[in-house]
Structures are given as structure tokens and as C-alpha cells.
Amino acid sequence: MKKSAQYSQIIKSHAKRLGFNSCGIAEAGFLEEEAPRLEKWLTNGFHGEMQYMENHFDKRLDPRLLVDNAKSVISLSYNYYPESLQSSDSYKVAKYAYGEDYHHVIKDKLFEILSCIRDEIGEVNGRCFVDSAPVLERAWAEKAGLGWNGKHSLMIQKQQGSYFFLAELIIDLELEYDAPFTTDHCGKCTKCIDACPTEAILPNNTIDGSKCISYLTIELRDNIPLQFKDKMDNWMFGCDICQDVCPWNRFAKPHQESLFRPKSGMLEMSKQDWEELTEETFQKVFKKSAVKRTKYAGLTRTINFLSEN
């Protein structure tokens, strides 16, 4: 067996041991097809007030600018589909934010894989990424054969649906590379497009981020524009509408990650409970949670917007 294939097997076995659902590897290089798409998306202003999306344009397209002499991009997926859901008549939090902040949980696992690589293979230079750096993760996951990008722009896997996080390890080690995923299995289905209440899902797998409920409830720091009144479907942090209606998510199975379990009582909170939310309760319910990104003021702003007649 070639060393590159042997190394790839070592990495994938550790990924499986640490609970990742899939692991694929692509050769590091310039994302030629993504460059004009990203430029057009930014030019159209689909990033709204997410000014950081305009930064590091070159690094987003070439991982070799993030890691010196990078040879491989390892893409991994980690399931977050919960066993239990919130009450349907309450204000809603996206499922990925039920438990502890995924950035920290998954990054710790990536650091462990990187440590194992160094222990078993040798001195390897690399960096770990979990949705917090200029990496076009869905493009790399597709190149690594993990799945395809649906019309809602999220990655879908046949056996799992789309309720999973993506993460990357970019390293300066040559590995055996997986075949890219080239088939779109969405077909003529438009359920996600039809279900989006703010019409944020456009043709050609494009999202107008400035209209997306996730953007409005998390990224937008100003008041939510009145044009979205009565179109938010009670989402106060993030949104899962396009995933909830996707037929592929009938294959979603509950995760086994204890750190992703919601805090006691959170799923049972009523609209009134949320409307009476104090900062103390916010800190308790969302301790170590991704929801803390919007801060107490941001969450209550959204709750007030949703509750006002």
C-alpha cells in the first residue's frame, strides 16, 4: 500500500473513532469554479451587513494561503440532529444551537486528529477550521466526496440528510484523494424554495443572505426590517425551515453527542417564558451555547419583534 493511502486510512479511522459521520480528502488548490460565484454573490450584496465576507477573498479560494505548502484538505461531517424538538407553538432556536457551541466541541476533536497524525505519521503542519475562517467548506466537502449542495445551498448526504456540521483540516501532507461528488440528487424538487417565507432561496443554489432568517436573527445588528414582519415563523435564533421540508432529511438520525443535548427545560419553554426572559436566565440556559453570539440584547430584540402585534 502506498504511504499516502496508508496515511489517509489512519486519518479516517481516527475521524470515525471521534464520532465524525464522514471524512473525505481533496487535493489543496485554487477553487477556480468558485471564484466567479463568490465575486457575483458579493457584488449582488447577498451578504447583507456581513462585511467580513468581503475580507480575505484570495484566502477563501486557495487554502495554500492559509497553511504554508498545504497539500490536502480533509473535510469531515458531524451529526447534530436532536432526539427531541422544541414545542411547536414556542419561539424557536435552530437545532444546531440546542447544546454547547459546536465550534469548540468539534475543534477539540480536530486538534485530537491533528495530534494523532503527528504521533503516528510524523511532523505535519496544519490548521483546524470549524465555520470560523475564510474556508469555503461546502465546496471542499463536495470535492472530497461527502455529498452535494442542495438548492438551499447546504450540503446533503443520501444516508443522513443535511443536519450536520462541516469541519476541515488543512495540512501539508500528501494523501490519497477521494473522488468528488458530482451528482445533484435534488432533481426537480423545490420544497425548500417554496417553503422559505422570506424568499431568500434563489435559483442556482444561491442564497440572498440579507433575506435569510438566520441572518436576520444572528448577523444583523440593527432592527429587523418591517418587511419581514409576520414572515419569521417564530424563529428567534437561526432557522431550519429549508431543512425541515427537505425529503432527504427523513433519513436524519439523532446524534450521540452528549455535549449537544439541550439544557434542562429549554425545549419546554413557552412563548411567555421567552418573553419574560431575564439576562440571568439567558446566561444559564445558553451557557457555552452558540446562541450567546447574538447576546441577550440581540435575542430579546428578535423576541420583541416576533411578539409585537
Which positions are catalytic?
Answer: 131
As a whole number of angstroms, the distance between CA 300 and CA 237 comes to: 10
Distance of CA 16 to the CA centre of its chain: 19
Amino acid at 207: I
DSSP code of 254?
A: -
Q: Which helix (H) or strand (E) holds 284?
A: helix 279-285
- Give the phi and the psi of residue 250 in degrees, each rounded to 5: -70, -15
Bridge-partner residues for 126, per DSSP? 171
Please give the sequence-ordered ranges of beta strands (E in DSSP) within 206-295, or none if there are none: 206-207, 235-237
Give the count of beta carbons closer than 10 Å to the beta carbon of residue 138: 20
Amino acid at 292: K
Joined together, the cell numbers standing for residue 18 give 471521534
Does residue 5 contact residue 51 with C-beta atoms inside 8 Å? no
Q: Nearest CA to 260 among 148, 111, 104? A: 104
Residue located via cell numbers 409576520:
230
Please give the sequence-ordered ranges of beta strands (E in DSSP) within the chain, or none if there are none: 22-27, 72-79, 92-93, 126-129, 148-149, 155-156, 164-171, 201-202, 206-207, 235-237
As a whole number of angstroms, the distance between CA 307 and CA 291 comes to: 19
- 102-120 and 3-17 are packed helices; what angle lies between their axes, rounded to 10 degrees? 140
Does residue 249 contact residue 163 with C-beta atoms inside 8 Å? yes
